[in-house]
Structure 1
Amino acid sequence: MNLLDKRDRNLSATIKLGRENPGNLLQVFLLVTALLFFGSCSSNRATIYIPAEQEFVLGADENQNFRVDLKNTSGLPVAVSAVDKNTETQTQGFRLEAQGSARVFIGRKEKVVLKNSHSEEIRIKARLNKGVAGMSYRPLDQDGQ
């Protein structure tokens, strides 16, 4: 038996396997396609509960740009700001009204700070375009800053 005969026999066995159960090949193809599709379209979603007179910091340990979509599901506004990680100065900011939505783009040298200066808890739904490192709560300063 020469090498060509052996190759033909292996090819024949492969073709026969596909003919005997073509559903398996289709199932494997569909599974791989679905995993690739859903894996590339994933995003991280969370509901952030910010206690009264506290702030939530997001992205303090992140070293890449990220995007966050915010939806204030509370009846009270919340202050949203991007802060330079090194100088602690605000680089951008706005007031997210009750039931309001916003999309914020954060640079690799920034972090997001959500401030709740009210006497009751606030809920914010957040959708991030990727996993973001460095989240924490901290009390507001005495002057609400």
Structure 2
Amino acid sequence: MNKKGSIVLYIYLLIQLILFDIELSMTGFNKTFNRYTHRYYKVKSTALNEENYQEVFNHIEGLFYIFDVVCAWYPRKADCIHKTLLGYKFLRKKYSLPVDMVVGVRKFPFEAHAWLQINNQNFFSDNDETFRYNIILNSKNLSEG
């Protein structure tokens, strides 16, 4: 991606993050999670094959790289919840990937984490980080009933 395209994407992602942060502050986590689950759950069937897989993967990788930069420079704290819900929106809406949002907790020391899964596997392949959490919330379960 060229520099101009990266700047435009940065601004777009920053605006999306600000709007999401406002919504999260005003409506709370439960309503926001439920809204995203139901609004973006239905996706068109994906025509992901060997020819376009690498191109789509490169777009997604670039998107999340810039999104990580946006979150790092965001003046308020942007955590895994922000990245998970907005990532869910982007991946389902733009790329039609059947990802799920997952929230897990660990008892001792208490810790919570949110991440994206596809086919019950961590989307970003860092299963070493997420295996220690007990899943308490999954968008797949909410959308199915």
User: TM-score by structure 2 length?
Assistant: 0.21
TM-score after normalising by structure 1? 0.21
Give the greater-gyration-radius structure (CA). 1
